[in-house]
Amino acid sequence: MPPRRDNDKFIQADSDSDISVDDEDFSKSHKGKGKADVRRKRDVKGKGKAKDTQSYTWEASYTRSWETVQEDEAGSLQSSVDDWMARGRRRRLLEPSTAIRRTIIRHLILLLDLSTSMMDRDMRPTRFDLMLQVVREFVAEWFDQNPLGQIGVVGMRAGIGERIGEMSGNPQEVLKCIADRHKLEPTGEPSLQNSIEMARSSMSHLPTHSSREIIIIFGSLTTCDPGNIHETLDACVKAKIRISVVALAAEMKICRDLCDKTGGQFGVALNEGHFRDLLFELIPPPAQQAVSRGASRATNPSADLMMMGFPTRLPDTSPPSLCVCHSEVKSEGFLCPRCLAKVCDVPTDCDICGLMIVSSPHLARSYHHLFPVRAYDAVLSADEAASNSCHGCFRPFPPPPTGTTTTSEGLSPLGRYRCPDCKNDFCSECDVFVHDVIHCCPGCGQ
Amino acid sequence: MDDARGSHLSVLIDLSPTQWHNSAQGPPRNTYPLPLNSFLSQLLAFLNSHIASKHENTLAVFGAFPGKSVMLYSTIDPTNHDQAIDANSYPPFRLVDSTIVTRITEELEALGEPEEEAPSSLVSALIKALCYVNRVTLPSVSTTNNPADGHDPAILPDPRILVLSVSPDLSTSYIPIMNAIFSAQKLKVTIDVCQIYGPDTIFLQQAAHLTGGSYIFLERRDALLQYLIMSFLSPPSIRKILSVPTQDKVDFRAACFCHKNIVDIGFVCSVCLSIFCQPVPVCSTCRTKFPMKTLQRLNASRPLLSSSTSNASRTSPSTPQARTPTALGADTGASTTNGARSSTAPLGGLPHSGSIGNGTPRAANINGSRPGPEAR
């Protein structure tokens, strides 16, 4: 996640300072000129700001994102869009091609506060709606960075913990269970203990390699528990569950304790943007957790060779047999490749032989980081043109433009991008699609 | 059941000459021979019925030739073939049929007679099909530049890809196939697989399983058209009602990075998740050095593992079928006998230390429960 500029946050603050009024006039007078003008203007603006408001550095970080989009002579936004794409391409070229270190398997339970306090309107539109919106973004981003991870969702409402989504490694499934706003309508009091217990029990079967985490989004100032929550806390510490809390209202002692004792992070959201930032800080894999866990069994805690088994999945129609994890008669399940015992779900440790069982697609999800596609070169001159349609999607290339067009770096005037390895031409859509989604060149793919 | 919208079907045809030659052989080799021409006539009937079932349905056909993949036909890019008016045929069907047959003939003739046939480039065709789906589902700017394109970008066809494969798994294509599967998931594309000839392919099985499609291993190959129409004609949205045959058994094995063997027990680097078929001191992908202790521990249990992995790789084509009865039979037995044994094994400890502890009983277990492939 790139650092986010939070425009909404600063609009109010800026509108009553006279500097911003000056600025607005300044930019209006220059509006609608070429790109070079824009760049110059930005420089001037930056300098002016630095001079005028040296004491207010927070004001300097504020840029008007909508002003960087400029219409071209014909009044179309196409040139801005192209420019934006070109910038994306260049950023890709700058990316390092080294492997990224990741925690192996993360398991996370999201505890969502669905009590009546979530209907407060101190955050727009309501705490509840904001939470759903931010959590959706969070889930998408989390799965992107933690390909082997799994997320389950538990809601706190009417004094009980309510399982909203089973632990799943598929972002679509997790998003689906928090998609329907009406099913999650907040009611009653929240119960921290009940829901933490529920989250803890659903993570009890997980393999020892994985991290177990709970993220609580808490809007209430009370909790309605059936027993002593400190016992639950001790149980979590024992189970090595890391609890992080993002509070929407104010700091509560018990929330702070939960985080401190389990090694999690605690934060109180000041506003909408800060809430998002706090939650997104929890996306990268926790570093110190991996060290403390690995130190006990290896000299080099961050790297180890692990033995893993890739199971066979039995269909629903196979003859039922007992599973080793619950001793229930079931048709579906996974067979451990070493001892052929049947387990209900992967990833897990085999109960019989202790082999770590993962499905290979889980591992494969992160391989595109290891073997990235080389960036395509923009084809600049027309005489190089070989084929008349894109090698990926077979879209015919547009005819070469007549006259001189101003092009920025990394952008082909012909709309052709050539793979340096297989020398095939691709259209810009395929270029973006191949590098961002497929991670595999259609021409070089065997 | 989306009323007004059609569905998009991309068909991938594996056109490996060797495999099709083998497929056409008579009874001693195949009980039900299926030559390419009879396959094509059945396929064209299927394609025509896809077009006929709804006016909005779109179609794209890709061919995977040895070392090359091409688009044979697409509804969006009309090929201006000179059509002789034939009173006995419906023009759209005729257009599809003649285009596909002509293109296949052209490509096969262009192949010539290479000494060694390159493996069929099914993955490249799959990636191109995904690019194409990306193009039709994305209301892009460039469609406005293309006046010949009569397609309305607002219509989002329910996309699916049907792979008609005749080749065995190619372990070098593991990573591209996996990447293609994940992008298909992102695009919400269903991948259906029909293995017409040759052994089960575990990568395509995984593709169908992970994208919610169906994988069918053709037993009666003379009844291809019936299989196609019964299982693959209906769009994914109404398959739940029709109860289309789903997957039998999915094999989640992977190919190792070092020898491209297909392994069921692998050694995985914790930094980059590369898979190796034997313990290595340094990860070949990310250059991470592994601690000696781990290596010694893993090497201690190595002899038995190497035998099991080589075993699996050698019998890999037939293993999925061969293991089915033995695995199921041995399953309950193994779990009960091992249940008693597991009480002696350290429970709740680190899995690695546990796995050294009961190394010998496990060896007995593997040998005992895996006579299937060997006996066959």
Same-domain pairing of B270 and B143: no
Q: How far is B3 from chain A (nearest CA, A)?
A: 23
Sheet with B215-217: list strands edge to edge: B68-74, B58-65, B7-14, B158-165, B190-195, B215-217
Q: What would the pLDDT profile of A94-145 be if each residue is shown by its tens digit?
A: 554 444 455 556 889 999 999 999 998 888 888 999 999 999 989 988 887 6
Same-domain pairing of B299 and B224: no
Q: What would the pLDDT profile of A11-41 be if each residue is shown by its tens digit?
A: 444 333 334 334 444 444 444 444 444 444 4
Give the integer Cα–Cα distance in Å for A218 and A129.
Answer: 14
In this prediction, residues A258-286 reach a mean pLDDT of 87
**CATH classification at residue B39:** 3.40.50.410
Q: What would the pLDDT profile of B129-167 be if each residue is shown by its tens digit?
A: 999 988 887 654 444 444 334 444 445 567 899 999 998
With bands split at pLDDT 50, 70 and 90, how would you rate the model's confidence at B219?
confident
- For an interface test with B, give the residue of A78, A316, A331, A360 to mutate (most B CBs within 10 A): A360
3-state secondary structure of A14: helix
A194: left (phi over 0), alpha (psi -120 to 50) or beta: alpha
Same-domain pairing of B229 and B270: no
Quote the pLDDT of residue A66. Answer: 65
Is B54 domain-assigned? Answer: yes
Which helix or strand (DSSP H or E) is residue B265 part of? strand B265-269
Q: Which residues of B touch A238 (CB under 8 A)?
A: none
CB within 8 Å: A321 and B331: yes
Q: Which segments of A99-147 are extended strands (E)? A: 106-113
Is B321 domain-assigned? Answer: yes
Task: Work out how many domains chain B is built from and give that number.
Answer: 2
Q: How far is A373 from chain B (nearest CA, A)?
A: 11
All domains of chain A, ordered by start, with CATH?
Answer: 102-280 (3.40.50.410), 308-369 (no CATH), 372-446 (3.30.40.10)
Interfacial B residues in 242-261 facing A (CB < 8 Å): 246-254
Q: Is B193 on the interface with A (CB under 8 A)?
A: no
Same-domain pairing of B276 and B315: yes
Same-domain pairing of B137 and B227: yes
CB within 8 Å: A429 and B127: no
Is 0.90 topped by the overall pTM?
no
Of A317, A335, A442, Cβ closest to residue B124 = A442
Q: Which residues of B touch A299 (CB under 8 A)?
A: 291-293
Q: How far is A230 from chain B (nearest CA, A)?
A: 25
Is B244 domain-assigned? Answer: no
CB within 8 Å: B254 and A99: no
Estimate the share of chain A in helix, then strand, then coil, as percent rounded to the nearest 5: 40, 15, 45
Is B217 domain-assigned? Answer: yes
Same-domain pairing of B33 and B134: yes
Beta pairing, strands B262-263 & B254-255: antiparallel
Q: Is the pLDDT of residue A359 over 60?
A: yes
Which helix or strand (DSSP H or E) is residue A230 part of? helix A229-238
Same-domain pairing of B217 and B353: no
CB within 8 Å: A398 and B135: no
Q: How far is CA A90 from CA A84, A373, A432, A442, B355, in A?
A: 10, 14, 12, 21, 49
Q: Which residues of A touch B180 (CB under 8 A)?
A: 438, 440
Structural domain of residue B315, as residue ranges? 254-375
3-state secondary structure of B71: strand
Same-domain pairing of B265 and B222: no
Is B370 domain-assigned? Answer: yes
Quote the pLDDT of residue A3. Answer: 45
Which of B205, B239, B273 terminates a domain? The answer is B239
Q: Is the pLDDT of residue B117 over 60?
A: yes
In this prediction, residues B208-213 reach a mean pLDDT of 87
Quote the pLDDT of residue B194. Answer: 93
Same-domain pairing of B205 and B162: yes
Which residues contact residue A55 at a Cβ distance below 8 angstroms, ignoring those fewer than 6 apart? none
Same-domain pairing of B164 and B288: no
Beta pairing, strands A356-357 & A342-343: unpaired
Buried b (16+ CB within 10 A) or exposed e, A343-375: bebbbbbbbbbbbbbbbbbbbbbbbbbbeebeb
Is B117 domain-assigned? Answer: yes
Is B3 domain-assigned? Answer: no
| Least confidently predicted of A194-203, B33-42, B303-312 | B303-312
Quote the pLDDT of residue A288. Answer: 40
Same-domain pairing of B46 and B169: yes
Q: How far is A406 from chain B (nearest CA, A)?
A: 19
pLDDT-above-90 percentage for chain B: 13
Q: How far is B57 from chain A (nearest CA, A)?
A: 19
CB within 8 Å: B354 and A429: no
